[in-house]
Structures are given as structure tokens and as C-alpha cells.
Chains A and B, each alone.
Chain A
């Protein structure tokens, strides 16, 4: 059971107190891919943290003091400083905490990872559109074609670099930033989109061997249970799979 296995807070809930010294707080939702990025970094760097899950269909009024539009993920530290946008949050954690550095030390290699992120920018929207379209009982052949094209671009990078991971021979920040959407391909019903990209499939297999990725892997049945309730507009969706 991961450390974010807590019930969401919704409208009418009491605002949480200040973040205790020595801890950082993440406002999250167990199934959100953007928040997943931040959870991967927290896990990979062994950062002591607490998670408050937010009911995204029934947001607490106090949550808008953490983020103007009530988005997740948001980090809050013991000084009350707030950091949001998943990529900014991940970079902040890498900068602020010691130990294993997820971004490379070399400034050109760092720039390369950021350029790779630009290449990825259409993937989140396309995978979400595929999910929504399929769930509404419509075909998404065009969307899948577009997604396959994006995956071909990423395949080309891996081919050109001749490395397993996007940052080289070891897993690094860029891999964790991409991962959440690839973990969801199966449960979204679009796993066949990597049929023509062998290097990407090898990367997925290698990622599934990573201890950090493994520790946070979401159970497929629980995810499906969440998706079923979510698409029925059930506000309890976000707590699906939690005991009691």
C-alpha cells in the first residue's frame, strides 16, 4: 500500500494545518498522471513527505489558497512555500534535496532532457482524448494514429542515442516525467499504440524493473474501478480501492 492511500478531502473539509518541520506535503490524487510524476521523484530521492489527496470533482474551498485554479500537484513545505506545475515541482525537489540527482550535472545534457520534454508535449492530451473517446463508445482511430506518430518520434530518439533510457544508460528525470502516461496505456485500452516501436517497448520493460516505478505501480483493477466511477461522474471515484 503506497503512502498516498488516504481518502480525499472535499468541500466542507477543514483546511490542513501547517506542514511539520522536516516534511514536505504533496497535494495529489492517486490516479493523476501529473501528480504521479512528483510522487516518482519523491520516491526516487527518498524524500520524507505526506500526501493529501484532493477530490477533484468537489474541491475544498481552502484548496484554492494553495492553487488559484485548484490544480494538482502542488508542493507545500514547512515554510508555507507553494510550488506548482508538475515539471517545476519535480525540478524543485531535485534542486532542494540532497542525494541522488535525477537531472544530469552537465548543462548540455540537462538542456537535452528539457528539449526531449518538448517533444513529449502532445502525448498527455492525445492519451486522454483516446480514453474519453473510447469510454464514450466512439472509435479513436485518428487519435491513435496521431499518438503512434508521437511515439515514432520518441522511438527515433532512442534509436539515434542507442541507449535504453531517454537520458542515457541509467534512468533519470526525463524517464520519470514520461512514465505516468506509458503506465496508463494498458488501462486506457491503447497498449497497441506501441506495437510498432520496439525500443519504446524495451524502455517500458526496463522502467517496470525500476524500484521507484514498481513501488508506485497502480493496481490495474483498482485503476479500472476508478475509471468506471469517474466516467459515471461519481464523486467517490477518487477514493476507489481504499479500505474503509
Chain B
């Protein structure tokens, strides 16, 4: 689905590794029955290859693509460096549900509690960059972990919530560096389309996923 941040992870890896692919978008507000045969959880993203093998869970799809396809390796070969990327991924895990709950509340109750929690989570990520003294989360070049966490920071930009990284300067610099990446910039969501989608999606409108087409 064009606006799903989890599916965005897989699209970024497909783009970064130059893997030829086709996309079938699923209406997440009105899922086709056959889709549950692809993924019993009924979630995107799902990969299907010509052997009919199906892989789901965004992080698993990304790792699969990195292993199965040649070219630039996004995950490091060194076992410790690879483990570090997975530990950062765990550190990030509270951000997606927090950001979603923040978006759901935007125009309703006071969301200062959620804001504070987001600040806390961003500070943890800031600490990683500060300790590593590198631009990206995996080192001096962009790698898998950066793509895995990017889609939610892209939301901050498209929704003009950049002030959320005002107190985390390294994170801010990381975002600027990410925007220069060819895969990131070629897949950047149009802010108008995203806002249009989000409004309809939060109202449970069946047409949300096709906004802008």
C-alpha cells in the first residue's frame, strides 16, 4: 500500500539494491479474501517470488532481499556489527506505535504525553549516533538499519513536524543526509497526497489507499 511505512522499508531495499519487481497494492480497509492466503495476518508488505515462496514481516522481507540478491550488501558481514543494527532496531521499536497514536490524536485530546514519550525515544536514538560518532546508524555509510527506521522520519517531514528533532541535533543531521540518498529521494511521498490519504484513512474511508490516483 503506497502509504504504509512498513511496506516502504521493503520498497527502499528493492530500490537501493536495484531489484526488478512488480507491486500489487492492497486496499487495507477492504482486503481481498485471497490476500489472507499470502499472509495469514493479512498485513503488508508481503514478497512473493516466481517459485511461489512467500515472505512477510517487513524486517524479514528486507533481510531476505539482502541475502537473496547480489550487489551492494545492506547488512554488514561482521556478526557484531550486524547484531548492533538489530539492537538499534529494537531500540526504535516504540516509535511506530507512538507516532501512529500521535497522528490519531492530532485534532482531539491533548497529546503532550505522547509528545514527551516520542522525545524520549528520539533521545535514545540520538545517544546511539553520539556514541558512534558517525552520520548513519550503521557507520559512515547508509545501511539497512537506516532504511528500516527511515519511513517514520519521512512522516515527520511530510507532516512538517521537524521540530520534534530540534533537541536531537545528530538525528536532524541524519535526516538531512538520508534525504540525499537516491533511493530515499526517489521514493519520497508527496506531502499533499499523504495528508489526503491520512485524513481519509483516519475516517476509515475505503477509498483512502487510492488517494491521488
Contact = CB atoms under 8 A, between A and B. Distances in A.
Interface of A: 77, 81, 83-85, 88-89, 91-92, 95-96, 107-108, 110-112, 114-115, 118
Interface of B: 53, 55-57, 60-61, 63-64, 67-68, 79-80, 82-83, 86-87, 90
Contact of B79 (A96, A107, A115): A96
Given A88-B86, A88-B90, A108 B68 contact: yes
A84 B82 CA distance: 12
B161 to A, nearest CB: 27
Given A114-B57, A115-B60, A81 B86 contact: no
Given A110-B67, A111-B63, A111-B64, A88 B53 contact: no
19 contacts: A81-B80, A84-B87, A85-B87, A85-B90, A89-B83, A91-B82, A92-B79, A95-B79, A96-B79, A107-B68, A108-B53, A108-B68, A110-B67, A111-B55, A111-B60, A111-B61, A114-B57, A115-B60, A118-B57
Give the most central of B60, B82, B83, B86: most A CB within 10 Å: B83
A107 B68 CA distance: 6
Given A91-B82, A91-B86, A114-B57, 20 more contacts: A81-B80, A83-B83, A83-B87, A85-B90, A88-B90, A89-B83, A91-B83, A92-B79, A92-B80, A92-B82, A95-B79, A107-B68, A108-B53, A108-B55, A110-B67, A111-B63, A111-B64, A115-B55, A115-B60, A118-B60
Contacts of A96: 79-80
Nearest to B91: A68
Nearest to A118: B57
A115 B83 contact: no
A85 B64 contact: no
Contacts of A114: 57, 60, 63
A83 B64 contact: no
Contacts of B86: 85, 88, 91
A83 B85 CA distance: 11
Nearest to A85: B90
Nearest to A84: B87
Nearest to A94: B79
Contacts of A112: 55
Nearest to B85: A88
A77 B56 CA distance: 33
A42 to B, nearest CB: 15
Contact of A115 (B57, B67, B68, B90): B57
Nearest to A95: B79
Contacts of A88: 83, 86-87, 90
Contacts of B90: 85, 88
A112 B64 CA distance: 10
A83 B80 CA distance: 8
Given A88-B87, A111-B60, A95 B67 contact: no
A126 to B, nearest CB: 18
A81 B82 CA distance: 12
Contacts of B63: 111, 114
Contacts of A83: 80, 83, 87
